[in-house]
Amino acid sequence: MFITFEGIDGSGKSTLIEMLAAEMKKQKLKFKKLREPGDTPLGESLRTLLASHKSITPVAELALFVAARAQLVQDVIKPSLDKGEHIICDRYTDSTSAYQGYGRGLDKALIRHMNNAATQGIVPDLTCLLDLPVGQAAKRRSANLDRMEREANAFHERVRKGYIALAKAEPKRWLILDSRKKPEENLEVLLKRLKLF
């Protein structure tokens, strides 16, 4: 199984990911927990660059996220799935569609082509959207905001709407969870969907 988690910054992905990982460990399932951008030396360097540079054009930003993904797929995701390990990934292609497509307004077909090249056609079996109103998500973010988190509320609103549109277009792949609910409740729904409960 290849499971990805998506949502605006502060939507509570990390909590649910930790809870799912703990449950999978308990069930003695072999899995890797990854995050994007990151989890390769190149990806971690790009993560630092992307969070810290003051000025990055939207197209440059797109190219850097996709570069990190291409490396992660080639070096980690593909070999692990081939070995029969499960993958839990904090963000994947849909982050690019939501942030660079809906948020920045870049061409969606271009993003699709670049994502396809980076992923070698590897699509998640399940994508879990943690949905939360922008105002509530902003309150949950830490005081140390990175470049993306400092974007105006209107940007995060576009990203949130983008996620909902993406999820509604592919209901078989997506599970939408309401982050205002307790994480334990959401975990139960997720485990049922994964048939781990």
Contact positions toward ligand TMP, by CB under 6 A?
9, 35-37, 65, 90-91, 95-96, 99-100, 148
Report, in Å, the least distance between residue 13 CB and ligand TMP.
Answer: 7
The answer to whether 143 and 19 have CB atoms below 8 angstroms apart is no
CB atoms within 10 A of CB 125: 14
| Two structure tokens written together for 42 | 């190149």
In the complex, residue closest to ligand TMP by CB: 99
Report, in Å, the least distance between residue 99 CB and ligand TMP.
Answer: 3
Which residue, 74 or 196, is less far from ligand TMP as judged by CB?
74
Rounded (10°) angle between helices 13-26 and 183-193 = 50
Which residue has tokens 């590897």?
Answer: 122
Report, in Å, the least distance between residue 23 CB and ligand TMP.
Answer: 21
Preceding omega of 37 cis (within 30 degrees of 0) = yes
Which residue, 29 or 110, is less far from ligand TMP as judged by CB?
110
Which residue, 24 or 106, is less far from ligand TMP as judged by CB?
106
Which residue, 35 or 187, is less far from ligand TMP as judged by CB?
35
Report, in Å, the least distance between residue 120 CB and ligand TMP.
Answer: 16
Q: Where are the alpha helices (DSSP H) in 53-181?
A: 58-72, 78-82, 93-95, 108-119, 134-140, 153-169
Which residue, 37 or 124, is less far from ligand TMP as judged by CB?
37
Q: Which amino acid is at 53?
A: H
CA 103-105-107 angle, to 5 degrees, is 130
